[in-house]
């Protein structure tokens, strides 16, 4: 028997429905019962197909890889003594993934949206000596590969894209709602599976959920953004994103 629960349910429903349908229709002469068996076949097929559509990598393997990446980057941040919050930038006009820069000085100048950062880990983004930072690819940047959100698509796209990524693809939350203000965006994530932890990495980049939300917001607005804060609420997590204009 298949290990996949959806596939197992699908096989049981399809075989059960196929066996019972002729029995109900020809022997018992009951159309509603035969129809019920027919619905079991359809439901079984849907379940089996959804079982086949499950990701090949198990959640445990994904969690292990995420944890490894976080710990490596946290060690690097700690070693370099970087404490400033990351600035999320949209993808450059020339193409490529959106990235985030962790500046040496948080109160320094903000890189402009159209600025092309060199493809290096440590990059200079301004004329001053302290305008230097760590350029990294965030989980949100990679998740945008399967969505195709064009830079500057507009704030209306943020909620739909975040729901698509966090609920549909990654299954990390039940739902996402977005409220847009003048210079801030509030993202409410209901029943998130990843919680905020007060560790160095999260203080710099935000939790993985906030990081994804900031990347999507930056890409949709075509503006640099920063995670201003994260709060646990009754429903889940409230993420505040600051838009840097």
Partner 1 sequence: MRIYNSFITLLALAFAVTTTVLAIYGVDGLDTYFTMYTIALLVLTTLYVTISPKARRALSTVGLAAFAGFLVIVVLKVVEILGRR
Contacting positions for partner 1 (CB under 8 A): 6, 9, 25, 31-32, 34-36, 38-39, 42-43, 45-47, 49-50, 52-55, 146, 160, 163-164, 167-169, 171, 174
* Rounded Cα distance, 59 and 235, in Å: 23
User: For partner 1, which is the closer residue by CB, 55 or 118?
Assistant: 55
State the minimum distance, in angstroms, from the CB of residue 157 to partner 1. 13
State the minimum distance, in angstroms, from the CB of residue 48 to partner 1. 9
User: For partner 1, which is the closer residue by CB, 38 or 136?
Assistant: 38
User: For partner 1, which is the closer residue by CB, 39 or 116?
Assistant: 39
User: For partner 1, which is the closer residue by CB, 169 or 199?
Assistant: 169
State the minimum distance, in angstroms, from the CB of residue 221 to partner 1. 21
State the minimum distance, in angstroms, from the CB of residue 175 to partner 1. 9
């Amino acid at each position: 028997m298949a290990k996949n629960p959806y596939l197992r349910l699908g096989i049981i429903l399809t075989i059960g429905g196929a066996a019972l349908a002729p029995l109900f229709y020809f022997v018992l002469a009951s159309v509603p019962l035969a129809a019920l068996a027919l619905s079991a076949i359809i439901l079984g097929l849907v379940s089996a197909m959804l079982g086949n559509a499950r990701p090949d990598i198990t959640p445990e393997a994904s969690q292990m890889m995420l944890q490894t990446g976080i710990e490596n980057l946290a060690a690097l941040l700690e070693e370099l003594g970087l404490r400033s919050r990351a600035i999320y930038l949209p993808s450059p006009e020339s193409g490529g993934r959106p990235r985030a820069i962790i500046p040496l000085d948080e109160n320094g100048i903000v890189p402009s949206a159209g600025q092309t950062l060199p493809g290096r880990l440590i990059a200079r983004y301004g004329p001053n000596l302290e305008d230097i930072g760590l350029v990294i690819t965030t989980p949100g940047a990679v998740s945008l590969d399967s969505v195709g959100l064009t830079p500057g698509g507009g704030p209306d796209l943020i909620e739909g894209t975040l729901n698509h990524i966090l609920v549909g693809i990654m299954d990390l939350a039940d739902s996402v709602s977005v409220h847009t203000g003048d210079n801030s965006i509030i993202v409410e994530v209901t029943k998130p599976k990843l919680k905020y932890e007060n560790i160095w990495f999260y203080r710099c980049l935000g939790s993985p959920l906030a990081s994804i939300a900031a990347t999507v917001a930056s890409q949709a607005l075509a503006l640099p953004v920063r995670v201003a804060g994260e709060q646990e609420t009754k429903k889940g997590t409230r993420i505040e994103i600051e838009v840097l204009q």
